[in-house]
Chain A
Amino acid sequence: MRPRLLATLLTALSLPALLLPAPAVAADAVRPGQPAPDFALKDTGGANLRLSEWRGDVVLLTFWAGWCGRCSDQLDALERLQATYAARGVRVVAVNIDGPATAARDAAARSGLTVLHDDGQQVAREYDVARLPLTVLVDPHGTVRHVHEKYQGGDAARYEEELVALLDE
């Protein structure tokens, strides 16, 4: 009887939510606990890759550009994380928002990271990217767990802690 009661309560609670006006904050802003917005983009080799097809892996998604100095520092650190944790189901995905192909993009692709091209910056808009790099950790169920803006030297250790915690769940 208790589950039925809870279901009824959930229904009752969810109905007013449908009637309430939208919150002032943009609904598509990426926040921990929300599903990561799905997208498909081309990689450097021209293949289409979709975020939802990596369900089951921990995905570290970073938005970057070639003109962003901190981004290249971060990519070096992410390359090391990818090499260490790839076998445990971690995938580092670097979404480049430079526009047409650049040398920086090709260099990142050679580093072993999965580099995707967001030429129209549609995905960046969906993820509400305001400052670079923007880093989003997505758990195996496709839920956003951590969001970080900008990058400093010590941040890589924090990413690693968060990745390990997600892998151990």
Chain B
Amino acid sequence: MAMTRIELHFASAALLVGSLLAIQAVHAADELPADATPATSVDAEVQVLKDEVLDLNRELFLLEEELLFPANTQVAVFVSMDVGDFFDLDSVQLRIDDKPVSNYLYTDREVAALLRGGVHRIYLGNLKTGEHELTAIFTGQGPHTRDYRRGATLKVEKGIGAKFVELRISDRESKQQPEFLVKEWE
């Protein structure tokens, strides 16, 4: 017997609902193993949610950095240390165009991290194109545990694109003194 149009619609709807229920059942079976308790399932869901929030947070952080510090104007300054036998770092003050932009006190743990090869981003900001003067003042204890304060200046030409500057503290064996270098990275 031929089906009427209405019967055909009902049959199609029933088939669709049946398919959806079957898909949901398959998914439910995927999500909840037979031997799993509801508590472990909730734990797993919470863990997935936490991971997704962390991912989202990371993406928002990157988005914020891109918005606040566009590549065209971005300037980042890093501090690194090599050896450090002649200098015990206490703080670094950074001035750009004679304006203090960062003053960072280093704890023992942070100095230890620098000596193990770590690099610390002491400043991230924006500068317009053109010439700028960057001055870093290092304080700490030099040879024979004497208080030590030394400045290093660099003229940087800010063009289009991000600018990276490294403040490197190293030892000059020949003079038995620390050495402070300011280096530009392209």
Q: Would you call B52 and A3 a contact (CB within 8 A)?
A: yes
Chain B neighbourhood of A152, CB < 8 A? none
Closest to A41 in B: B105
Q: Would you call A48 and B107 a contact (CB within 8 A)?
A: yes
Write the nearest CB–CB distance from B64 to chain A, whole angstroms.
8
| Contact of A42 (CB < 8 Å), options: B52, B105, B110 | B105
Flag whether A150 is at the interface (Cβ < 8 A).
Answer: no
Q: Would you call B45 and A2 a contact (CB within 8 A)?
A: yes
Q: Which chain B residues have a beta carbon within 8 Å of chain A's beta carbons?
A: 45, 48-49, 52-53, 55-56, 60, 90-91, 104-110
* A47 and B108 in contact, given A3-B45, A14-B60 (Cβ under 8 angstroms): yes
Cα separation A42 to B117 with both chains bound (whole Å)? 25
Please report whether the interface of chain B is mostly helix, strand, loop or mixed according to DSSP.
helix
Cα separation A85 to B49 with both chains bound (whole Å)? 35
Which of A11, A48, A49 has the most chain B CB atoms closer than 10 A to its own CB? A48
Number of interface residues of A (CB under 8 A): 16
Q: Which chain A residues have a beta carbon within 8 Å of chain B's beta carbons?
A: 2-4, 6-7, 10-11, 14, 40-42, 47-50, 53
Instruction: Count contacts between A and B, CB distance < 8 Å.
Output: 38
| Contact of B109 (CB < 8 Å), options: A6, A11, A42, A53 | A53
Q: Would you call A7 and B56 a contact (CB within 8 A)?
A: yes
Q: Would you call B107 and A7 a contact (CB within 8 A)?
A: no
Chain B neighbourhood of A47, CB < 8 A? 107-108
Write the nearest CB–CB distance from A43 to chain B, whole angstroms.
10
Write the nearest CB–CB distance from B93 to chain A, whole angstroms.
13
* A11 and B90 in contact, given A2-B45, A41-B105 (Cβ under 8 angstroms): no
Closest to A47 in B: B108
* A48 and B90 in contact, given A40-B105, A42-B105 (Cβ under 8 angstroms): yes
Chain B neighbourhood of A6, CB < 8 A? 49, 52
Cα separation A6 to B55 with both chains bound (whole Å)? 13
